[in-house]
Amino acid sequence: AESTGELRQVDNVAHRGASGYAPENTMAAFDKAVDMKADYIEIDVQRSKDGELVIIHDTKVDRTTDGTGYVKDLTFEQLRSLDAGSFKGEQFAGEKIPTFDEILDRYHGKVGILIELKAPELYPGIEESVAEELKERNLEHPQNEKIIIQSFNFDSMKKMDSLLPKVPIGVLTSSKAHTTEQALTDFAVYADYFNPSYGIVTEDLVDQVHSLGMKISSWTVRSQVAADFLLDMDVDAIITDYPDYVDPRKTNY
Ligand code: G3P
Ligand code: CA
How buried is 166 (Cβ within 10 angstroms: 0-12 exposed, 13-18 middle, 19+ buried)? exposed
In a domain, 6, yes or no: no
Q: Specify whether 141 is catalytic.
A: no
249 pLDDT tier (thresholds 50, 70, 90): low
User: Environment class of residue 250 by beta-carbon count within 10 Å: exposed (0-12), middle (13-18) or buried (19+)?
Assistant: middle
Given a cut of 70, whether residue 250 has pLDDT beyond it is no
- Is pLDDT at 142 greater than 90 in this prediction? no
Q: Which of the listed residues 40, 57, 113, 217 should we mutate to test ligand 1's pocket, taking the one with most ligand atoms within 8 A of CB? A: 57
Give dist(CA 172, CA 233) in Å, integer.
18
Domain assignment present for 63: yes
Q: What is the pLDDT of residue 36?
A: 96
User: Does any domain span residue 5?
Assistant: no
Amino acid at 99: T
What pLDDT score does 141 carry? 87
Whether residue 252 has pLDDT greater than 70: no
How many angstroms does the Cα of residue 186 sit away from the middle of ligand 2? 22
* Any domain includes 93: yes
Q: What residue spans of the chain are helical by DSSP H?
A: 27-35, 76-80, 100-107, 126-136, 154-163, 181-188, 203-211, 224-232, 243-246
Cis geometry, peptide bond prior to residue 64 (ω within 30 degrees of 0): no
Q: What is the pLDDT confidence band of residue 140, given thresholds at 50, 70 and 90? A: very high
Q: Report the percent of the chain where pLDDT is more than 70.
A: 93
Query: At 74, which CATH number?
Result: 3.20.20.190
Instruction: Judge contact between 241 and 20, C-beta under 8 A.
Output: yes
Collapsing DSSP to helix, strand or coil, 28 comes out as helix
Q: CA-CA distances (angstroms) from residue 43 to 7, 18, 102, 179, 221?
A: 28, 11, 12, 25, 16
The interface predicted TM-score (ipTM) is 0.98
- How many angstroms separate the alpha carbon of residue 197 from the centre of ligand 1? 9
pLDDT at 247: 79
What pLDDT score does 145 carry?
Answer: 79
Give the Cα-Cα-Cα angle 51, 57, 59 (nearest 5 degrees).
60
Q: What is the pLDDT averaged over residues 138-150?
A: 87
Question: Is residue 7 situated within a structural domain?
Answer: no
State how far the Cα of 173 lies from the Cα of 24, in Å rounded to an integer.
21
* Residue 220 Cβ < 6 Å to ligand 1: yes
Does residue 2 belong to any structural domain of this protein? Answer: no
Average pLDDT over residues 116-139: 97
Examine the pLDDT at 235 and tell me if it is beyond 60.
yes
Atom 7, ligand 1: residue with shortest CA distance: 57
Determine the distance separating the centroid of ligand 2 and the alpha carbon of 77, expressed in angstroms: 24
**What's the full length of the chain, in residues?**
253
Q: Express each pLDDT in 51-88 by its tens digit.
A: 999 999 999 999 999 999 999 999 999 999 999 999 99
Distance CA 219, CA 170 (A): 13
Q: Please tell me which residue in 15, 108, 141, 210 is annotated as part of the active site.
A: 15
Tally the domains of the chain: 1
pLDDT at 186 > cutoff 90? yes
Task: Report the largest interatomic distance among the alpha carbons of the chain, rounded to a whole angstrom.
Answer: 53
Rounded mean pLDDT, 178-194: 98
In angstroms, rounded to a whole number, what is the distance separating the alpha carbons of residues 169 and 191?
A: 5
Domain that holds residue 211: 12-246
Angle at alpha carbon of residue 186, lines to 184 and 157, rounded to 5°: 100
AA letter at 132: E
pLDDT of residue 216 exceeding 60, the answer is: yes
Verify whether ligand 1 is closer than 6 Å to residue 116 (CB atom): yes
State which residues have CB under 5 angstroms from ligand 2, the bound ion. Answer: 44, 116
The model's pTM is 0.95
Average pLDDT of the segment spanning 193-197: 98
pLDDT bucket at 245, cuts 50 / 70 / 90: very high
Catalytic annotation, pick one of 57, 141, 178, 210: 57
Q: Assign 6 a pLDDT band (cuts: 50, 70, 90).
A: low
Give the integer Cα–Cα distance in Å for 212 and 201: 16
In a domain, 194, yes or no: yes
Is 108 annotated in the active site?
no
Instruction: Return mean pLDDT, the chain.
Output: 95
Task: Kindly give the distance from the C-alpha atom of residue 4 to the centroid of ligand 1, in angstroms, as a whole number.
Answer: 30
